[in-house]
Structure 1
Amino acid sequence: MRVLVLVFSVLAGPVISDTVVAARTLPARTLIGPEDILLRDTNVVGAIDQPELAIGRESRVALYAGRPIRLGDIGPPAVIERNQIVMLVYRRNGISISTEGRALDRAGPGDLIRVMNLSSRATVSAVIDDNGIAFVAQ
């Protein structure tokens, strides 16, 4: 009976999983490669636990060596730079209007940014697609 209790107490211990940490300090806007991350035997709530979730992504904030990387700290690589001229598209009820706009923020696919319509000088919110086209948010 004692052996059985010992086995269950060992198995019921805390679960430790791998956590992805920065191998070196990475400034914001750095494309993350395999050499930039390490796995640590620790469990940090909210931290990434799979290296493939970080590799190929871009740091949104500075990532410090040895500190866990969280999903909010990284994102897709930017396809639009601040002040870049972009195609601005408005679609609604079967109508599509396209014009040029100026990106007021840096963005990657799926990001919501402000874009200034160059014709009217109005500022709108737009979602960026994979090709860098800004679609006016509804």
Structure 2
Amino acid sequence: MKALLLLLLMLPQAGLAGSVVATRTLPAGTVIAPGDVAIAEDQPGGVADVAQVAGQQLRVMVYQGRRIDPSFLTAPTLVGRNQIVTIAYEKSALRIEAEGRALSAGSVGQMIRVMNNASRVTVSGRVAPDGTVIIEQH
């Protein structure tokens, strides 16, 4: 019986782990820096590692000392609505670039609509890590 109790005490206790809390009031849209958050041992649940939230963007406001829930986080927006972006079409060795206006905001990997400034044609493309919108052929 003592061995069983000892074994149970040695298992990791998820309920005793701390969670990430805001060190200051963070408005919605804030990209979280490591200095914006800390681990609070007295608030179980939520995200337990600062590295998991650093670089993520908040969808809602989080007040100082409050726990940051994973549902509050999203990938950071790279392209804003009405932002001027480079539109690129690639096929084999051919690459055509044009200037366009983003019709919606998007983060890396998301599909957004972009209007070509020269022809006024609206196309859809995927946001690349450098902010270029890559048009995919269908």
Q: Same fold (TM over 0.5)?
A: yes
Is the contact between residue 20 and residue 38 of structure 1 (CA under 8 Å) also seen in structure 2?
yes
* In 1: Cα distance, 2:54 partner to 2:13 partner: 28
Identity %: 31
Give a deviation string over 1:49-96, Cα, whole Å, max 9, x none. 32123223332x1142313331771323x4432212111011124432
In the alignment, what sits opposite 2:75? 75
For structure 2, the 5+ residue unaligned runs are none
- Residue 127 (structure 2) pairs with residue 131 (structure 1): no
* In 2: Cα distance, 1:127 partner to 1:90 partner: 11
In the alignment, what sits opposite 2:118? 119
* In 1: Cα distance, 2:120 partner to 2:108 partner: 24
SS of equivalent to 1:113: strand
Q: Which residue identity lines up with residue 121 of structure 1 in the other structure?
A: R
Q: 2:62 aligns with which of 61, 64, 68?
A: 64
* In 1: Cα distance, 2:75 partner to 2:55 partner: 9
Matches within 5 A, 1:1-138: 2-12=1-11, 14-16=13-15, 17-41=17-41, 42-44=44-46, 48-59=47-58, 61-65=59-63, 66-70=66-70, 73-76=73-76, 78-138=77-137
In the alignment of these two chains, the number of paired residues is 132
For structure 1, the 5+ residue unaligned runs are none
After TM superposition, the score normalised by the length of structure 1 is 0.73
SS of equivalent to 1:105: coil
